[in-house]
Homo-oligomer: A and B are copies of this chain.
Amino acid sequence: MLDRLSLNQITTQGWSLREAVDGCARAGITFIGLWRDRIAEIGPDAAAALVRDAGLGVSSVCRGGFFVTADPAERARRRADNRRAVDETAALGADTLVLVCGGQGDLPLATARDMVSDGIADLAGYAATHGVRLAIEPMHPMYCADRSVIVTLSQALDVAEAFPQEQVGVVIDTFHVWWDPQVQAQIARAAGRIAGFQVCDWLVPLPDVLLGRGLMGDGPIDFPDLLGAVDAAGYDGPIEVEIFNRAIWDRPGDEVVAAVKERFARHVLGRRP
């Protein structure tokens, strides 16, 4: 029943990549979501070997994007870095690169949003030739100014639909979308475009804008409801548990993984303990 569970590496961020891979193996978890800064610690080839030798699937690589900047030199740097992100994703044998599209910064909001579409248009072909699909992650509106001007699933799909579905999809993270009155309808619309599904809960009251995520069951999110919609839309891939939370990061990794498994079964799959 845990065969779709993927451990996003940020959830056990006290662990090195090797420790996370070993932890998954010990726990019987067969997918892992990787972060580029942790891949960089040992290099993509060594990371690929580690993951392959452990028999793990890579559910996604985080992250490319950050398309919004008024500075041409900075844009060129980011363009090159996004191509490296594609290369690394391909080297890992993964097929999904998550895009955090970039916040508004000092630009007009409409301009920033146009830069996202332009950036994806520039990257999608390169990614496709490397067997990598771009996955736009709509982020919670509270990140609009500084992380992502793409704030709803509807808007992410508007952007994605300009491209073939095998080139550009979306990643749906419960923390970012649960509040949206349109979320069920938009998940249905996303059929064929769902490149990933990520879960964590929303802590109440939100203790911190960045680190206010909790284990499933520690907040109000109805996971079976959202998973049901994602399943009905035809997505049958891995489900990543991705938690940004200082208290969880400070716990021993094996303890966190055990809690993740238990909460995943109970609150995401809806199985009684």
Q: Are A202 and B152 in contact (CB under 8 A)?
A: no
- When C-beta atoms are compared, the residue in chain B nearest to A204 turns out to be B145
- Give residues 52-109 of A contacting B (CB, 8 Å): 104-106, 108-109
- Chain A 94-136, CB within 8 Å of chain B: the 1/0 string? 0000000000111011000100000000000000000000000
Q: Does A209 contact B (CB under 8 A)?
A: yes
Q: Does A185 contact B (CB under 8 A)?
A: no
Residue tally, chain A, CB below 8 Å to B: 29
Q: Are A155 and B181 in contact (CB under 8 A)?
A: yes
Q: In the complex, which of the residues B106, B140, B180 contacts A142, with contact meaning CB atoms closer than 8 Å?
A: B140
Q: Are B141 and A179 in contact (CB under 8 A)?
A: yes
Q: Are A202 and B145 in contact (CB under 8 A)?
A: yes
**A38 CB to nearest B CB, Å:** 24
Counting from the closest, the 10 A-B pairs by CB-CB distance are: A144-B179, A141-B179, A145-B204, A142-B142, A155-B181, A145-B220, A206-B209, A104-B220, A141-B141, A151-B179
Given contacts A141-B180, A155-B181, 7 further A-B contacts (CB under 8 A): A106-B220, A109-B179, A109-B222, A113-B181, A140-B141, A141-B142, A151-B181
